[in-house]
């Protein structure tokens, strides 16, 4: 539970950081607004076309009597729209980060500079085109994993009771993990950390990642909230990366006893040491006479 609270703390710290730097808040809203318009149009289109798609996909039910036909296809329509919403939540961050790569890269770099003692930030040394290619490639890999999970959870949703209780909870955990992975990839990519190493790092701190990502996944279900939380989420993910990689800890200093003793200074202009005529060599006393 402590790790869950720690992860949620990074989410709130990130929001406070952008609130204290208003210019970066407005700067980070631009990609989210663009992506929100695209996703809203896609979900509206899905809402209008879901009935026709389900009717086309289930021709075997055309001869069913009422009300079973309506209940069956209505249930599948709701599931289809829920699946589309689930994929929208998972992929929204990836698409927004891809659209806003230059924006969030600058935001994450500014967070690193503000937290670094020397005011510097790690740099990948790659060109913008190369960074966009790596970001698109990594996002596609994560998207494939997320879609596999989405199909699995969609199938498990048909299980009575479990499909309405346990499966949604697992879905939020999966969504939260992938959201955290996408957000931390902004800072980790500048540190030249590959996707496999990123996933290994996050899995080693799974509870903390869930504490950061699951509340964010819940908030992303509310319209327009994702847009306003994205800048702070990127800032919070950068702060979490710094702590996970122990970049905020001071470098250990050597113990004084482990340091070598200073050597005596030798005067190069002095001649060879002369014996002291007043100093006699030590001689042991003679043994007592019997």
Domain-embedded: residue 262? no
**3-state SS class at 124:** coil
Looking at residue 255, what is its pLDDT? 53
Closest by alpha carbon to 185, among 147, 136, 221?
A: 136
For residues 201 and 193, what is the distance between their CA atoms, to the nearest angstrom? 10
Distance, CA of 39 to chain centre = 22
For residue 247, is pLDDT > 80? no
Q: Which two tokens stand for residue 4?
A: 């869950």
Cβ-proximal residues to 143 (8 Å cutoff; 6+ apart), any chain? 90, 91, 94
Domain-embedded: residue 112? yes
Q: What are phi and psi of 223, to 5 degrees?
A: -55, 140
pTM for this prediction: 0.67
For residue 286, is pLDDT > 70? no
Closest by alpha carbon to 124, among 109, 139, 137, 113?
A: 109
**What would the mean pLDDT of 204-215 be, rounded to a whole number?**
91
Domain-embedded: residue 131? yes
| Best-predicted range by mean pLDDT (41-55, 149-163, 202-216) | 202-216
Contact 183, 93 (CB under 8 A): yes
Domain-embedded: residue 179? yes
Contact 145, 196 (CB under 8 A): no
Domain-embedded: residue 47? no
Domain-embedded: residue 265? no
Query: What is the overall mean pLDDT for the chain?
Result: 79
For 2-48, how does the pLDDT look when each residue is reduced to its tens digit (9 = 90+)? 778 888 999 999 999 998 887 888 878 888 888 888 888 888 888 88
Q: Where are the alpha helices (DSSP H) in the chain?
A: 2-20, 22-57, 68-99, 101-115, 128-156, 166-190, 195-204, 206-220, 225-244
Domain-embedded: residue 107? yes
Domain-embedded: residue 76? no
For residues 183 and 14, what is the distance between their CA atoms, to the nearest angstrom? 12
For 185-195, how does the pLDDT look when each residue is reduced to its tens digit (9 = 90+)? 888 988 888 88
For residues 285 and 260, what is the distance between their CA atoms, to the nearest angstrom? 39
Q: In the chain, how many domains are there?
A: 1
For residues 98 and 58, what is the distance between their CA atoms, to the nearest angstrom? 36
For residue 64, is pLDDT > 60? yes
**What would the mean pLDDT of 212-240 be, rounded to a whole number?**
86
pLDDT band at 250 (very low <50, low <70, confident <90, very high): low
Range of the domain at 162: 2-37+86-244
């Amino acid at each position: 539970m402590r790790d869950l609270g720690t992860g949620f703390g990074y989410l709130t710290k990130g929001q406070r950081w952008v609130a204290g730097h208003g210019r970066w808040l407005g700067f980070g809203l631009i990609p989210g607004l663009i992506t929100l318009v695209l996703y809203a149009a896609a979900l509206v289109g899905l809402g209008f076309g879901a009935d026709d798609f389900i009717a086309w996909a289930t021709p075997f039910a055309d001869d069913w009597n009422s009300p079973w036909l309506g209940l069956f296809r209505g249930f599948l329509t709701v599931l289809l729209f829920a699946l589309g919403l689930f994929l929208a939540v998972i992929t929204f961050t990836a698409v927004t980060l891809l659209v806003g790569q230059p924006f969030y890269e600058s935001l994450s770099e500014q967070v690193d500079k503000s937290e670094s003692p020397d005011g510097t930030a790690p740099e990948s040394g790659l060109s913008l085109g190369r960074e966009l290619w790596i970001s698109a490639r990594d996002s596609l890999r994560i998207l494939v994993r997320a879609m596999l999970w989405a199909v699995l959870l969609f199938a498990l949703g048909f299980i009575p009771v479990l499909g309405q209780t346990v499966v949604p909870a697992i879905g939020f955990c999966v969504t939260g993990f992938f959201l955290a992975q996408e957000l931390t990839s902004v800072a980790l990519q500048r540190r030249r950390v590959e996707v496999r190493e990123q996933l290994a790092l996050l899995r080693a701190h799974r509870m903390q990642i869930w504490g950061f990502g699951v509340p964010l996944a819940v908030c992303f279900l509310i319209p327009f909230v994702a847009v306003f939380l994205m800048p702070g989420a990127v800032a919070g993910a950068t702060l979490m990366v710094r702590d996970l990689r122990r970049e905020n800890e001071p470098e250990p200093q050597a113990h004084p006893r482990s340091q070598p003793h200073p050597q005596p200074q030798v005067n190069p202009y002095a001649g060879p040491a002369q014996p002291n005529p007043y100093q006699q060599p030590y001689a042991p006393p003679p043994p007592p006479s019997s």
